[in-house]
A and B are shown apart, each in its own frame.
Chain A
């Protein structure tokens, strides 16, 4: 397996969708390729960062919602 093949199928590896045989090829490549180990870890970190940073903005209750927007939305039902 080349590094390109490893990276091309990384999403299946990450999602646990490889067959046993494919998984063994991936694991064998990781054993001998520190560059791909580094790539895999940074790929996982990237996904984690995306999920994490937006999870922090999920609070919602703490954000300031313009009163004009709330009033406009409530006014619709009053019509």
Chain B
């Protein structure tokens, strides 16, 4: 999308032009729904997307143009998703420690495994791999899952993730590293099993 097109949309939104609004919705709704589905079930994802466009209409004057309109909408949407998640927080999650590596007294890892096969990324189809990663991401405790999603998927900086989640930058870093380690532990047996099937 060109900068001129986006400027014209923003001008139209501020003037209450319905054609501009329709064009913005049609141009962005697919991407927003994909993002919302990462965090929420289908019904909640649709509600979050709907509320995002309500916020667009009520807050367009606040859009400063620091990012693209889509990026701004995505940030609003993610806050909508996080708000819904906070309300439905599951208190009975497994501790992240269950998924972190264990160490011997001398500092070596317990049961280290070999290097993943070079072709690990070709064994499954991309859709199968995506589903596999998503399934295992969902096993992580929410506080850790959200950090890895914001940092490694949504591309938030550490500072942006900290502000969005209401935690310190140091906490973002610790949680991100633990989340990555935990996901690695979950994926490793699957990667090695696939290699054994080759």
When chains A and B are docked, how far (Å) is the Cα of A33 from the Cα of B32? 44
Q: Is B113 positioned at the interface, with any CB of A under 8 Å from its CB?
A: yes
Chain A positions within 8 Å of B18 at CB level? 74, 77-78
Chain A positions within 8 Å of B130 at CB level? 53-54, 56-57
**Chain A residue at minimal CB-CB distance from B107:** A2
* Max count, chain A CB within 10 A of own CB: residue among B50, B148, B181: B181
Chain A positions within 8 Å of B33 at CB level? 60, 63, 65, 69
Q: Known contacts being A11-B176, A76-B53, is A69 close to B108, with CB within 8 Å?
A: no
Choose, from B2-10, B82-90, B159-167, B182-190, the stretch at the interface: B182-190
Please pick, from A3, A10, A61, A74, the residue contacting B22 in the complex, using a CB distance under 8 A: A74
What 0/1 readout, one digit per residue, does chain B (165-196) give for beta carbons within 8 Å of chain A?
A: 00000000100110011011001100100000
What 0/1 readout, one digit per residue, does chain B (117-135) give for beta carbons within 8 Å of chain A?
A: 0001100001101100110
Count how many chain A residues have C-beta atoms less than 8 Å from C-beta atoms of the other chain.
41
Chain A positions within 8 Å of B103 at CB level? 2-4
Output the least CB separation between A4 and chain B (Å): 4
When chains A and B are docked, how far (Å) is the Cα of A42 from the Cα of B34? 27
Contact residues of A: prevailing secondary structure: helix
Tell me whether A58 and B187 are in contact (CB under 8 A). no
Interface residues of A in 48-66 (CB under 8 A from B): 49-54, 56-63, 65-66
Output the least CB separation between B10 and chain A (Å): 15
Tell me whether B34 and A77 are in contact (CB under 8 A). no
Q: Is A28 positioned at the interface, with any CB of B under 8 Å from its CB?
A: no
Chain B positions within 8 Å of A38 at CB level? 112-116
Chain A positions within 8 Å of B153 at CB level? 50-51, 54
Tell me whether B152 and A50 are in contact (CB under 8 A). yes
Tell me whether A54 and B176 are in contact (CB under 8 A). no
Tell me whether A77 and B57 are in contact (CB under 8 A). yes
Output the least CB separation between A60 and chain B (Å): 3
Tell me whether A66 and B46 are in contact (CB under 8 A). yes
Output the least CB separation between B124 and chain A (Å): 10
Q: Is A18 positioned at the interface, with any CB of B under 8 Å from its CB?
A: no
Tell me whether B50 and A35 are in contact (CB under 8 A). no
Output the least CB separation between B3 and chain A (Å): 19
Output the least CB separation between A39 and chain B (Å): 7
Chain A positions within 8 Å of B57 at CB level? 76-77
Please pick, from B29, B114, B116, B184, the residue contacting A73 in the complex, using a CB distance under 8 A: B29
CB pairs A–B below 8 angstroms (10 shown): A3-B103, A11-B180, A37-B115, A38-B115, A41-B116, A46-B183, A50-B148, A50-B153, A53-B129, A60-B33
